[in-house]
């Protein structure tokens, strides 16, 4: 779990998320590790803004939001470059 520390932004009472996740497999791994012995508030799932998003409270009472950003498509990058 210590490998997650560089990715975490801490708020006053709320850890508002884990940043820099762009692989759904990593999002699943992180979400399930944090959810162990905790309470899932919103299962990790596809949303209109993200390929994976979920919210939970870990076993220590700390709320988490995991957001897996969709990497820009190659086609989209080529269109923007033109």
Pairing of strands 15-21, 8-10: antiparallel
pLDDT of residue 51: 93
- For 31, the token pair is 């979400």
Distance CA 61, CA 24 (A): 25
pLDDT of residue 37: 97
- For 39, the token pair is 């309470």
Distance CA 7, CA 59 (A): 19
pLDDT, tens only, 6-54: 555 554 455 556 777 889 999 999 999 999 999 999 999 999 989 999 9
pLDDT of residue 29: 94
pLDDT of residue 69: 85
Global pTM reads 0.67
Its sign, for the CA torsion 14, 29, 4, 20, is: negative
Write the class of the CATH domain 7-81. Answer: alpha beta
pLDDT of residue 22: 87
- For 21, the token pair is 């996740």
């Amino acid at each position: 779990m210590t490998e997650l520390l560089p990715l975490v932004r801490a708020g006053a009472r709320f850890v508002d998320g884990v940043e820099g996740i762009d692989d759904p497999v990593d999002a699943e791994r992180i979400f399930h590790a944090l959810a162990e012995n905790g309470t899932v508030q919103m299962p990790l799932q596809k949303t209109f803004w993200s390929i994976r998003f979920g919210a939970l409270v870990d076993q220590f009472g700390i709320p988490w939001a995991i957001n897996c950003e969709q990497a820009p498509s190659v086609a989209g990058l080529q269109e923007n470059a033109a």
